[in-house]
Structure 1
Amino acid sequence: MPVDMKALLARERERRRAAASGDPAGAATASSSAAATAPVVMAPRAKISLRDFDVGERAGVRGLHYVPDFISPDEERAVLAGIHAPGTESRWVRSGRRRVANYGGVPSSSEVTEPLPQFATSLLEAIASAGIVNERTAPNHVLVNEYVAPAGISPHNDGDVYAPHVAIVTLGGAALMDFWPNDGSVTADDDRRDCDEREPTPIAQVLLRPRSLLLYTGDAYGLRHGIRHRDVDVATDRCVNAAVAGVEIGDEVERGRVRYSVVFVRKGHG
């Protein structure tokens, strides 16, 4: 089932009409993400070297970086409170077995139409201050995915609109993400089918622990990726971050009831 682009477009048109008309009530409803989200305070971040967090090298995948415990449990709770702050419920759109809240404009368009909400701005400042992104390529668009176990996401490639990188902060639960060569079979995240056991063996897997950050760029950005539909993941010899994620081959990792991914992307290149 595809993301409901018609609903997203309708909401975007409503937001623009409210802003243009100066209608305080309409504008407040349409842009509630910025006004209603709870304050999120992040501790100062020291600069890190992405080379120290390169997990894809052992699988021959360049540009795959995993930072464990990028945020603290208190920061995680604050971000989750911001995601579910009063007035944000209207942001959610059903997409297959997950829900998606979109901030910044229509996902398939390169146009940025609104500022990021406060919870995302705080997270982004932490990502930028750690040196994970630079000013020229700093994200300006956020997608929040809500997965209720055993939900996953279909194999897809992010295409050109989000290049050169995607940064994902995981909240609430764990999941194993698979990466495959981009064979052209699925070029967009459309949820037409589950990522299940029929999928071929991945060239790499990354176990996304709560509060971790995943950055894929360069060659890794061009790969297809997905998360299988299951309640429990099993670490295999393709899990490139097994050591830092604290698992061994054959270990089982329960998803948890609800998992969130905060996906930061850059739209409108240059």
Structure 2
Amino acid sequence: MEVIDDPSKYKITEAPSDVYYIPNFISVEEENEILKNVYSAPKPKWTYLSNRRLQDYGGVPHKRGMIPEKIPHWLNKYMDRIRNLGVFEGTLPNQVLVNEYMPGQGIMPHLDGPLFHPIVTTISCGSHTILNFLNNDVIRNKVCELLLERCSLVIIKNDMYTKYLHSIDEKESDTISNKCINLEQCSRKFKIGENLKRQTRVSVTIRNVPKVLKVKLTV
């Protein structure tokens, strides 16, 4: 597990503002702990979409405001660890989105939008993936890619959050290209042209929902 004393040293200078990539942010044991808790959740906790399934913790974001729910203890330590990095600029993380991606599954280019404070942090478990960033226009040219390794943390802020679309291709494997801008920050050396076979990936996205209703659900 990476010991972090200064998050700024993990900033990817080749990216538009701002992206940070921290390999080995969690240990393999912590990765196993996260996966065990995700997959022991009751079936109704899952929301099924056409190309993946997900879980929400802390509440479901809504434009009228999020009704807060208690976040389970096993997630709190990762929220605290990210909060202690100081990247949330005076706000506190209060919502967690867990996505499961089977090999061949992905997500279309999109913006996370104004429901959230413009900072997103994501831990990857179970598999790597390639995260694409694209211009938000008709052509949607690719700006860059990030290789997200198992146990890593990626932090996306400012223009990279508000101006650039992000996506994951629907593939069963990924080929490292010269568009991948964080290879020097990865935990091992990857070569251009190297092919990586995907496994099932669980992403844990920790963020802040500014608009929270005063009503609380007790469960």
- The answer (yes or no) to whether the contact 2:66–2:211 under 8 Å persists in 1 is no
**Ranges in structure 1 where 5+ consecutive residues have no aligned partner:** 1-42, 186-198
Choose which of 206, 212, 219 in structure 1 pairs with 2:159. 219
Do structure 1's residue 237 and structure 2's residue 191 form an aligned pair?
A: no
Aligned length: 208
TM-score by length of 2: 0.87
Q: In 2, Cα distance between the equivalents of 1:47 and 1:53? A: 9
Q: In 1, Cα distance between the equivalents of 2:83 and 2:66? A: 22
Structure number, greater radius of gyration: 1
**Could you say which residue in structure 1 is the equivalent of 2:101?**
147
1:200 Cα deviation after fit: 5.0
- The structure that is strand-richer by fraction is 2
- The answer (yes or no) to whether the contact 2:117–2:210 under 8 Å persists in 1 is no
Deviations 1:56-89 (A, max 9, x none): x214x1111110000000011111112123x532
**Ranges in structure 2 where 5+ consecutive residues have no aligned partner:** 213-219
RMSD between aligned alpha carbons? Answer: 2.1
Q: Which amino acid aligns with 1:261?
A: S
TM-score by length of 1: 0.71
1:201 Cα deviation after fit: 4.3
- The structure that is helix-richer by fraction is 1
Equivalent residue runs for 1:189-204 within 5 Å: 200-204=140-144
Q: Which amino acid aligns with 2:144?
A: A
- The answer (yes or no) to whether the contact 1:235–1:242 under 8 Å persists in 2 is no
Q: In 2, Cα distance between the equivalents of 1:160 and 1:70? A: 27
Q: In 2, Cα distance between the equivalents of 1:264 and 1:225? A: 16
Deviations 1:89-127 (A, max 9, x none): 211011122101111222334324212122221211121
**Could you say which residue in structure 2 is the equivalent of 1:193?**
none
- The answer (yes or no) to whether the contact 1:180–1:224 under 8 Å persists in 2 is yes
Do structure 1's residue 205 and structure 2's residue 205 form an aligned pair?
A: no
Q: Percent identity?
A: 28
Larger RCO, structure (CA 8 Å, separation 6 or more): 2
Deviations 1:215-261 (A, max 9, x none): 000111111000001011111111011122231221111111x1100
Q: In 2, Cα distance between the equivalents of 1:88 and 1:232? A: 30
